Amino acid sequence: MTFIQKYGFILLIVFLCTAFTIVGVMREAKSASNSFVEVTIAEGDTLWGLAQDYSNNDHPKKWIARVMELNDMQSTTIKSGERLILPKVDPVFPDSMMTELAGEE
């Protein structure tokens, strides 16, 4: 028997699992790239500080470049009272799970 005839069912399962994984990853990346949050800049805020709060695992320089692109900014200077659109990054663990992991109730 040929390899495909002998292992066809297993190959089909592997192919389907791979296809569904790729589709899921692409869908997740698309939904994550279209999520935004609007913030009002407070006195003393900087893009670097916002990157530390909102960028999660992205490199701050890459995140700042994306914010500048989203808001059509020519420089990194931001002013108090200004409104910015920031890429929304969901936390790895929801807040309730984080406190459970930390042992607090």
In this predicted structure, the answer to whether residue 81 has a pLDDT above a threshold of 90 is yes
- Parent domain of 62: 35-88
47-54 and 60-70 helices cross at what angle (nearest 10)? Answer: 110
What is the pLDDT, as a whole number, of residue 12? 87
Considering the domain boundaries, does residue 51 fall inside one? yes
Structure tokens at 96: 């309730």
Is residue 41 located within the same domain as residue 82? Answer: yes
Considering the domain boundaries, does residue 77 fall inside one? yes
Is residue 46 located within the same domain as residue 23? Answer: no
pLDDT band at residue 58 using 50, 70 and 90 as cut-offs: confident
Structure tokens at 92: 């790895």
How many domains does one find in the chain?
2
Is residue 40 located within the same domain as residue 83? Answer: yes
**Average pLDDT of span 54-69:** 87
What is the pLDDT, as a whole number, of residue 100? 59
In this predicted structure, the answer to whether residue 93 has a pLDDT above a threshold of 60 is no
